[in-house]
Amino acid sequence: MNVLGISAFYHDSAAALLVDGHPVAAAQEERFSRIKNDASFPEQACAFCLQHAGITSADLDAVVFYDKPLVKFERILHTFLNRAPRGLNMFRQAMPAWLKQKLWIPRMLHQQLPGATEYLYSSHHFSHAASAFYPSPFTSAAILTVDGVGEWSTCSYGVGCDDAFELHKELHFPHSLGLLYSSFTAYLGFRINEGEYKVMGLAPYGEPKYLDLIFDQLVDRHADSSFALNRKYFGYLDQLSMTSPSFHALFGGPPRQPEATLEQRHMDLAASIQKATEILMLDLANEVHRQTGEENLCLAGGVALNCVANGRLLREGPFKRIWIQPAAGDAGGSLGAAFIGHLALGGQLPHKDGDDLMSAALLGPDFNDTEIIQALDAANLDYTQMETPTLLNTVAAELAGGGVVGWYQGRMEFGPRALGNRSILADSRQTDMQHTLNQKIKFREGFRPFAPVVLEELATEFFDLDVPSPYMLLVSQVAEQQKLPVTDSGTGLAMLDTPRSTIPAVTHVDNSARVQTVNDRQNPLFTQLLKTFEQQTGCPVLVNTSFNIKDEPIVCTPQDAVECFLKSGIDALAIGPFWIKECGEL
Amino acid sequence: MKTRCKRFLERLGHFQAMLLLTVMFVIFLTPYALLLRLFGQGKLPPGEWQKVVEQQAELSRLRRTF
């Protein structure tokens, strides 16, 4: 049975294909269109999925859209009715897209993917819940989904068992943890649905001085872990901004302009909303545990990409085991929708033998040597073809010598993280590597931290993490034995200048790290590279950051990789079996 | 010239659309909203847990766009 799931028209559109219940292909449209967070219909992602399986749309048993467009439209109209006569500008901005496009999704599905047997519509949080539970390694688990907003729901929980799940309760718009976080993201001068990572990365530079204010004025927490937002402070109901003038007055000034200097106040605000989010997530997890009694938790929704909160859930929460959908945002909704369609049509889930069904999230396209050679020749690059052991030794030696290497191998990752197939790699022991990568390679804000990748079996030597973290969705502290004594490291961005551990390039200013663990089973080549690096240096930890530069999606094709290599200051490129060293900048 | 005409028509179309939406908002939506409010209707949901009534596993529900 072939079922194609689709998410589109909000942000990060994507397609995912299940064949007999196995996810065989999935990708975000942005990787093909090269428009970051592309929300348009995922035409190219659909084409890739079908091509990968060698089928056409007529071979599909179902096309499943990830939400119910008319219910979403009802929520939007209802909100306008509630706010009128305010909200005229927002009405004028929102309606054209609905009238021209979003109300005609069924027609669009029939046109773009003709001949499928069924065209189905899941709902937003059911799609998230399905993406969290069905591919997880658990046969029984509690499910928690938290994001900005779907149709009405902003957060939901329930229980999954074998081939079915039920959602029990949900919180409705406008009371949304995702929108609360996004409001602060916008207020701090970052783009919503994209800058949330930056807020999370900025938080450790500040103190949560505004936490009490957030819980006194903005968020009313209830005993059952539900919460209400004070609408007076938010603009997203009827204005073109996320926050209202009352919000600005409460936090001491207008929103920060995108390129303005980051002040200590901004860092304190980031720390405060991050702390508030962690507390609310812990509240929710406790309530879900009380209500369900389950030992396992499956998480999805955009807020589940907050890996600092995830780390706290794991350490301080009531659940023994946690699994987070690697494409936890809306892109992953396509996968959940496909699972829902597959099961509704009478399909069964594949047997889970302790592993999840995500194939290490390596569900995107791959390219053969001929295609890679074409891209290299087109760019007039000198390359050397190597056997795998030689390539691994060469890459490891380059990294050990302080070089930055573009690592492009196999199938592209599904979800926001580069997990070792479309990555930029560097030596985690180099003190100035964080600065070099931010300023010279990726051209992004200097405060942003980098994530480590470590051999799974050696993770506990370097991090306080006793579970695998294959999808880089858990933040933990660097292990005590790796920490260096620090007397006074200053405040704010000055904290960056102090080395804090034996792996300073991946140790954030609060000694935390967003860890990825790898093993031979999930990504053998990448694991071999880490082993080779360890043999050469004694250190099994590398910096792993996505293969892209600021404001661009992660590379997809060999052409994208070559282009990014030429535009950035990457020292060398390992693409398939080919090695390219230093080409100079364009 | 052709491009200019096209751009002019696009802007005209955009202006007409915005005008139409403004009229809709002011003439229809706002009075209806005020009427609803007068009778205590049209409120947004409170920040409390709501029971999930419709599960999505059934094919008949999945076939609906609402």
Pairing of β A62-65 and β A2-7: parallel
Return phi, psi of residue A232, to 5°: -55, -30
A256 shares its domain with A382: no
Residue B61 lies inside a defined structural domain of this protein:
no
A284 shares its domain with A391: no
Residues of B in contact with A168 (CB under 8 A): 51-52
Which pLDDT belongs to residue A353? Answer: 82
In this prediction, residue A583 has a pLDDT band, given cuts at 50, 70 and 90, of low
- Tell whether the model's pLDDT for residue A278 goes beyond 90: yes
Q: What sign for the dihedral angle of Cα A150, A228, A268, A303?
A: negative
Q: Which of A106, A123, A140 is the last residue of a domain?
A: A123
CB A175 to CB B34 under 8 A? Answer: no
Q: Which of A275, A292, A310 is the last residue of a domain?
A: A310
Sort A401 into a burial class: Cβ within 10 Å, 0-12 / 13-18 / 19+: exposed
For A6, the enclosing helix (H) or strand (E) is strand A2-7
Which pLDDT belongs to residue A451? Answer: 97
A554 shares its domain with A465: yes
CB A91 to CB B65 under 8 A? Answer: no
- CATH code for the domain of A92: 3.30.420.40
A200 shares its domain with A306: yes
A390 shares its domain with A466: yes
Q: Is the peptide bond before A365 cis (omega within 30 degrees of 0)?
A: no
CB A226 to CB B57 under 8 A? Answer: no
- The whole-number average pLDDT for the span A262-280 is 97
E strand spans, B1-66 = 50-51
The nearest CA of chain A is from the CA of B6 a distance in Å of 19
CB A170 to CB B52 under 8 A? Answer: yes
Residue B65 lies inside a defined structural domain of this protein:
no
Closest Cα in chain A to B56: A122
Half-sphere exposure of A74 (CA within 13 A, CB side): 11
> What is the distance between the alpha carbons of residues A525 and A521, in angstroms, rounded to a whole number?
10
- Tens-digit pLDDT profile for residues A192-244: 998 999 999 999 999 999 999 999 999 999 999 999 999 999 999 988 899 99
> What is the distance between the alpha carbons of residues A416 and A328, in angstroms, rounded to a whole number?
9
- CATH code for the domain of A187: 3.30.420
The nearest CA of chain A is from the CA of B2 a distance in Å of 25
Closest of A514, A543, A545, A508 to residue A203, by C-alpha: A508
Closest of A500, A578, A530, A535 to residue A426, by C-alpha: A530
Which pLDDT belongs to residue A417? Answer: 95
Q: Please report, rounded to a whole number, the percentage of residues in chain A having pLDDT higher than 90.
A: 89
Residue B54 lies inside a defined structural domain of this protein:
no
- Nearest CB to A228 within list B47, B55, B59: B47
Residue with tokens 């397609």: A15
Return phi, psi of residue B50, to 5°: -110, 140
Residues of B in contact with A64 (CB under 8 A): 62
Q: Please report, rounded to a whole number, the percentage of residues in chain A having pLDDT higher than 70.
A: 99
Is the pLDDT higher at B38 or at A526?
A526
CB A122 to CB B17 under 8 A? Answer: no
The nearest CA of chain A is from the CA of B4 a distance in Å of 23
Alpha helices in A430-567 (DSSP H): 433-436, 459-462, 524-537, 558-567
Which pLDDT belongs to residue B7? Answer: 85
A183 shares its domain with A119: no
CB A24 within 8 A of CB A1: no
A91 shares its domain with A184: no
Residue A348 lies inside a defined structural domain of this protein:
no
> What is the distance between the alpha carbons of residues A446 and A497, in angstroms, rounded to a whole number?
11
In this prediction, residue B8 has a pLDDT band, given cuts at 50, 70 and 90, of confident
SS3 A2: strand
> What is the distance between the alpha carbons of residues A191 and A505, in angstroms, rounded to a whole number?
26
Residue B5 lies inside a defined structural domain of this protein:
yes
- Tell whether the model's pLDDT for residue A584 goes beyond 70: no
The nearest CA of chain B is from the CA of A183 a distance in Å of 17
- Tell whether the model's pLDDT for residue A585 goes beyond 70: no
- Tens-digit pLDDT profile for residues A340-356: 999 999 999 998 888 99
> What is the distance between the alpha carbons of residues A442 and A436, in angstroms, rounded to a whole number?
9
A521 shares its domain with A405: yes
- Nearest CB to B63 within list A87, A120, A168: A120
Residue A354 lies inside a defined structural domain of this protein:
no
- Tens-digit pLDDT profile for residues A312-371: 999 999 999 999 999 999 999 999 999 999 999 999 999 888 899 999 999 999 999 999
CB A323 within 8 A of CB A296: yes
- CATH code for the domain of A495: 3.90.870.20
- Nearest CB to B62 within list A88, A96, A344: A344
Q: Which residues contact A390 (CB under 8 A, 6 or more apart)?
A: none
Closest of A94, A100, A98, A71 to residue A237, by C-alpha: A94
Q: Which domain holds residue A246?
A: 177-310
Residue B19 lies inside a defined structural domain of this protein:
yes
The nearest CA of chain A is from the CA of B59 a distance in Å of 6
Closest Cα in chain A to B27: A85
Residues of A in contact with B22 (CB under 8 A): 88, 92
CB A78 to CB B52 under 8 A? Answer: no
Residue A49 lies inside a defined structural domain of this protein:
yes
- Chain B residues at the A interface, defined by Cβ less than 8 Å, are 17-18, 21-22, 25-26, 29-30, 32-34, 36, 42-52, 54-59, 62-66
Which pLDDT belongs to residue A496? Answer: 82
- Tens-digit pLDDT profile for residues A379-409: 999 999 999 999 999 999 999 999 999 999 9
Q: Which residues contact A180 (CB under 8 A, 6 or more apart)?
A: A218, A219, A229, A273, A276, A277
CB B25 to CB A158 under 8 A? Answer: no
> What is the distance between the alpha carbons of residues A330 and A29, in angstroms, rounded to a whole number?
12
Residue A363 lies inside a defined structural domain of this protein:
no
> What is the distance between the alpha carbons of residues A416 and A384, in angstroms, rounded to a whole number?
31
Give the mutation candidate from B16, B22, B25, B38 for the A interface (greatest A CB count, under 10 A). Answer: B25
Residue with tokens 């290599």: A565
A202 shares its domain with A100: no
Which residues, in sequence order, are bridge partners of residue A88? none
Closest Cα in chain B to A126: B56
- The whole-number average pLDDT for the span A177-191 is 97
Residue A320 lies inside a defined structural domain of this protein:
no
A12 shares its domain with A118: yes
SS3 A161: strand
- Tell whether the model's pLDDT for residue A489 goes beyond 80: no
Residue with tokens 């306080």: A464
Pairing of β A578-581 and β A153-161: unpaired
- The whole-number average pLDDT for the span A181-197 is 95
Which pLDDT belongs to residue A487? Answer: 77
Which pLDDT belongs to residue A405? Answer: 97
Distance of CA B8 to CAs A78, A92, A141, B15, B21, Å? 35, 20, 58, 10, 20
Q: Which of A78, A102, A123 is the last residue of a domain?
A: A123
Q: Please, what is the average pLDDT of chain A?
A: 95
Residue A61 lies inside a defined structural domain of this protein:
yes
- Tell whether the model's pLDDT for residue A586 goes beyond 60: no
In this prediction, residue A84 has a pLDDT band, given cuts at 50, 70 and 90, of confident
Tell me how many domains chain B contains: 1
Buried b (16+ CB within 10 A) or exposed e, A6-40: bbbbbbbbbbbbbbebebebbbbbbbbbeebbbbe
Give the mutation candidate from A1, A74, A80, A92 for the B interface (greatest B CB count, under 10 A). Answer: A92
Residue A6 lies inside a defined structural domain of this protein:
yes
Q: Which domain holds residue B17?
A: 1-43
Residue B48 lies inside a defined structural domain of this protein:
no
CB A57 within 8 A of CB A67: no
- Tens-digit pLDDT profile for residues A28-67: 999 999 999 999 999 999 999 999 999 999 999 999 999 9
CB A80 to CB B21 under 8 A? Answer: no
Q: How many CB atoms are closer than 10 A to CB A567? A: 13
- Tell whether the model's pLDDT for residue A261 goes beyond 70: yes
CB B50 to CB A80 under 8 A? Answer: no
Tell me how many domains chain A contains: 3
A189 shares its domain with A103: no
E strand spans, A208-292 = 219-221, 227-229
Which pLDDT belongs to residue B11? Answer: 85
Residue B9 lies inside a defined structural domain of this protein:
yes
Residue A534 lies inside a defined structural domain of this protein:
yes
The nearest CA of chain A is from the CA of B23 a distance in Å of 10
Q: Out of A494-508, A521-535, A538-552, which region has the weakest mean confidence (pLDDT)?
A: A494-508
Tokens read off for A172: 């409705």
